A and B are shown apart, each in its own frame.
Chain A
Amino acid sequence: NAGVTQTPKFQVLKTGQSMTLQCAQDMNHEYMSWYRQDPGMGLRLIHYSVGAGITDQGEVPNGYNVSRSTTEDFPLRLLSAAPSQTSVYFCASSYSPTGEQFFGPGTRLTVL
């Protein structure tokens, strides 16, 4: 099993550009989440999904869209990048809502 994979590892964007952060898992997990990690802020939940076709907002959803067309994939879209979205983004999946979350290696995003 590859576990949770994320691409790209690094990305630099200009303000106003859009892009999609990819996340995939091969563990057949229903639950998937996107977090952002900022210095001194810990991890904050952006969006999450409890299964294919079902998504919901987390703590900091503004400026981000998600969709879940398959169990395996959970992409995160930045519609119009802003410097405030400079962060490290982690995708995670779990078998159950209270089970162990498996994290991807992260995507480091810089918005100029």
Chain B
Amino acid sequence: GEDVEQSLFLSVREGDSSVINCTYTDSSSTYLYWYKQEPGAGLQLLTYIFSNMDMKQDQRLTVLLNKKDKHLSLRIADTQTGDSAIYFCAETLFSGAGSYQLTFGKGTKLSVIP
């Protein structure tokens, strides 16, 4: 099967930058996403990037896309304790049934040390 790969854990000190990495499977994926899940809650979209972009910046968040290596990263600047959560990388795959399916990685648990 096809897998979106992420490291499972990341620990950083408050104020440092966090970088969460992801490798995806399908070079034809047109949209790539980062979702955040706080404890006991559903997922919320953090940011996304179109496949024709290399970088997208949104306040403290920077997304980098390397299509050649199928590598996606999320950088969080000035990481705060409120950023502690699980971060999921996701890609959109064409399902062949006239629709698309969102395929998620297993998630990276970010722990921020005060």
Contact = CB atoms under 8 A, between A and B. Distances in A.
B92 A98 contact: yes
Please tell me the size bucket of the interface on B.
Answer: 20 to 34
A103 B42 contact: yes
A90 interface: yes
B92 A97 contact: yes
A41 B101 contact: no
A42 interface: yes
Contacts, number: 53
A34 to B, nearest CB: 12
Nearest to B42: A103
Interface of A is mostly: strand
Given A43-B43, A56-B97, 16 more contacts: A33-B102, A35-B104, A40-B8, A42-B4, A42-B88, A50-B98, A56-B95, A59-B1, A97-B92, A98-B30, A98-B31, A98-B92, A98-B100, A100-B48, A101-B43, A105-B42
